[in-house]
Amino acid sequence: MDDLMGYVIGETSNTELNFLAKHMPEIGSYVSINYCDLEILGMVESVNQGCKIFEDVYNVKDFEKLKDFENNDSYYTIGKIKILGDVKNMQIPRIPPKPGTEVYDASEKILGEIFSKGTIEIGNLISADSKVKLDVNKLCSRHLAILAITGMGKSNTVSVLLEELNNIHATVLVFDMHREYVEIEAKNSTIRRNIIRPKINVYNMSYDALMSLAGVDPQATVQRAMGRRAMKKIKESKKEVDFNTVDEYINSIINELNYYMGMDEFKSKVDSILTLIMRFEDLMTFKDKITAINYNPIQDIKENYVNIVDISELDESSTDLIISYFTGEILKDRKKVLWDTKVAKPIFIIYEEAHLIVPQNRPTKSKIPISKIAREGRKFGVGICLVSQRPKTLDQESLSQCNNFIISKLIEPSDQKHVQHASENLSEDLLNQLPGLNVGEAVIIGPCLKIPAMVKIKRFEGEYGGEDVKFDELWTTEKEKNIPEFIESNELFNDDL
Ligand SMILES: Nc1ncnc2c1ncn2[C@@H]1O[C@H](COP(=O)(O)OP(=O)(O)O)[C@@H](O)[C@H]1O
Ligand SMILES: [Mg+2]
């Protein structure tokens, strides 16, 4: 028989109950309760300890006297259990257990069966020796949010997921903001990496998006109107294939604008047109790395690879444009494939720093296709993963479409509330555990697991780029080099000049 942990006490319900514990139970550990021919599984969500003889004593002298009489027997421990369902089919029982019912430590065998069903091994239960594997279909199709304050293990979790997904030949796309994954290497497997240089098709872009890329102020209505007119004219007369290079296309817009400069009709707008021409000239010089023509990002994405779009060198507005462009084109492509072939071509897209890309109170270009995928992507085999250290600034609507959550330490109550708002499965008690989690520990909830779990995420075995810099080691190695003891400060300045 399993270890007896204690007895149900007080008023019970079929969703939660309290028990008087024989030993101190661990928060996040599982219990089993047998009644009505069912074996019910529950999770210890909080624990309280008390001592009867100290109750209502508010005088220090009395307290100190009583303390001498106190022995371990006067303490009691009460655990609060959230009922998860019966072991067989995880359904919540219709009736609550009677007070006095025995509460047992759930056996490792049961936990092993529950948590070993999935394909993606993410780590171990904190409270028991059981591996935790996630159901990849539910993880990807029902979207995922990885949330925690900085340094708590988000990138490590992403790296573990990348290796595991790569092992099952998944097609994954990561927007890599900090060059964390471009050189990812695993010790025990070969991660098939495909590095994509971010490019955007200038001919396919909307008029407004192209002008934003060129740096035209959104409020500059005259410039915007003239630009639209010129681009529309060019597009009506020439197809994309008529241009060999980006510069050919942009120059044709500039020529059209130059033509307007000479027209009487636009005499009063000459200054605006001139500024616009300068913006387009700058576009050819400064944005030449990310512009392309006769290009579709789909051609760069390799199936069954970890595709990494290196956006580390882009500014915020180009990042937004690239992400919205890639995401929109992927959704279009996946819809088309499904309609044409009747078979989906699944892809899982990971967005780091998601609060910058899909923020709560600010419109961005990426918000439109990402929230579209969040809502309807699963029909077409497109899953998303939002990674963020500032959940409260993450778009509530997109977040609430994520059904799976891997949440590590979150301290700010406003972050916690925002997440709780998005996920009905995150109970108040589980939420209260978030500030106490250590590096690499996380609460995992959602359809990717049969029941919620507190997990020690495994350490990614290999190298990724975002690991904490070891200041002391690096400085010590520097020290070993022959560093002169004294430098005339002027010398430093002279070098800079
Ligand atoms: N599951 C884990 N097990 C052990 N150490 C971890 C784990 N996750 C993260 N770490 C450590 O914490 C550091 C920060 O992790 P990281 O994933 O880069 O955090 P974040 O992306 O949330 O800022 C890593 O350098 C690593 O040393
Ligand atoms: Mg990180």
- Per-residue pLDDT tens digits for 289-322: 899 999 999 999 999 999 999 999 998 888 999 9
Q: How far apart are CA 214 and CA 85, in angstroms?
A: 57
pLDDT band at 70 (very low <50, low <70, confident <90, very high): low
Q: How far apart are CA 53 and CA 3, in angstroms?
A: 29
Q: Is the CB of 457 under 6 A from ligand 1?
A: yes
Does 68 have pLDDT greater than 50? yes
Helices 367-380 and 316-341: angle between axes, nearest 10 degrees: 20
Q: How far apart are CA 103 and CA 239, in angstroms?
A: 73
Q: Which ligand approaches the C-alpha of residue 149 most closely?
A: 1
Question: From the CA of 327, how far away is ligand 2's center (Å)?
Answer: 21
CA 101 to chain centre: 41
Q: Kindly report the number of other CB atoms within 10 A of residue 364's CB atom.
A: 19
Average pLDDT over residues 262-272: 94
The pLDDT of residue 74 is 77
Would you mind telling me the total number of residues written for the chain in this entry?
Answer: 497
User: Atom 7 in ligand 1: which residue has the minimum CA distance?
Assistant: 440
The pLDDT of residue 301 is 97
Question: From the CA of 178, how far away is ligand 1's center (Å)?
Answer: 15
The reply to whether 120-125+128-198+297-469 shares the fold of 4-106 is no
Average predicted confidence (pLDDT) for the chain: 91
The SS3 call for residue 301 is coil
Q: Which ligand approaches the C-alpha of residue 389 most closely?
A: 1
Which of 72-86, 197-211, 213-227, 373-387 is the least confident region?
A: 72-86
The pLDDT of residue 188 is 92
Tokens of 360: 């709560």
Q: How far apart are CA 435 and CA 428, in angstroms?
A: 13
pLDDT per position as a tens digit, 130-165: 999 999 999 999 999 999 999 999 999 999 999 999
For 167-190, letters b (16+ CB in 10 Å) and e give: beebbbbbbbbeebbbebebeeee
DSSP calls for 130-153: -EEEE-HHHHHHT-EEEE-STTSS
Residue 121, classified by CB atoms within 10 Å of its CB into exposed (0-12), middle (13-18) or buried (19+), is middle
The SS3 call for residue 290 is coil
Q: How far apart are CA 398 and CA 412, in angstroms?
A: 20
Q: How far apart are CA 419 and CA 392, in angstroms?
A: 7
Q: Is the CB of 27 under 6 A from ligand 1?
A: no
Q: Which ligand approaches the C-alpha of residue 442 most closely?
A: 1
User: Is 3.40.50.300 the CATH classification of the domain at 120-125+128-198+297-469?
Assistant: yes
Average pLDDT over residues 358-367: 93
Q: Is the CB of 440 under 6 A from ligand 1?
A: yes
pLDDT per position as a tens digit, 9-52: 999 999 999 999 998 999 989 999 999 899 999 999 999 999 88
Its CATH class, for the domain covering 4-106, is mainly beta
Q: Where are the domains of the chain?
A: 4-106, 120-125+128-198+297-469, 207-291
| Choice between 408 and 56, residue whose per-residue pLDDT is larger | 408
pLDDT per position as a tens digit, 401-433: 999 999 999 999 999 988 988 887 788 888 888
Collect all residues with Cβ–Cβ distance below 8 Å to 453 and sequence separation of at least 6: 28, 115, 125, 132, 443, 444, 445
Q: How far apart are CA 263 and CA 51, in angstroms?
A: 91
Q: How far apart are CA 79 and CA 407, in angstroms?
A: 23
Does 484 have pLDDT greater than 80? no
Pocket test for ligand 1, best of 156, 157, 158 (most atoms within 8 A of CB): 156
Q: How far apart are CA 150 and CA 360, in angstroms?
A: 19
CA distances from 477 to 143, 232, 395, 469, 473 (A): 44, 60, 44, 13, 6
Does 467 have pLDDT greater than 90? no
Strands of the 441-445 sheet, one edge to the other: 131-134, 120-125, 453-457, 441-445, 404-407, 144-147, 382-388, 347-351, 172-176, 306-310, 193-196
Q: Are 404 and 146 in contact (CB under 8 A)?
A: no
The pLDDT of residue 89 is 84
Question: From the CA of 312, how far away is ligand 2's center (Å)?
Answer: 13
Q: Are 324 and 357 in contact (CB under 8 A)?
A: no
pLDDT per position as a tens digit, 118-137: 999 999 999 888 999 999 99
Q: Are 374 and 413 in contact (CB under 8 A)?
A: no
pLDDT band at 108 (very low <50, low <70, confident <90, very high): confident
CA distances from 434 to 49, 111, 395, 415 (A): 20, 22, 21, 11
CA dihedral 434, 111, 166, 160 (to 10 degrees): 30
Q: How far apart are CA 79 and CA 82, in angstroms?
A: 10
Q: Which residues have their alpha-adjacent CB atom under 5 A from ion ligand 2?
A: 154-155, 466
The pLDDT of residue 497 is 44
Q: Is the CB of 151 under 6 A from ligand 1?
A: yes
pLDDT per position as a tens digit, 203-213: 998 899 899 98
Top-ranked range on mean pLDDT: pick from 107-111, 156-160, 461-465, 490-494: 156-160
pLDDT band at 72 (very low <50, low <70, confident <90, very high): low
The SS3 call for residue 216 is coil
Query: What is the percent of the chain where pLDDT is above 90?
Result: 74
Beta-bridged to residue 479, according to DSSP, are none
Does 1 have pLDDT greater than 50? no
Average pLDDT over residues 485-495: 61
The pLDDT of residue 332 is 95
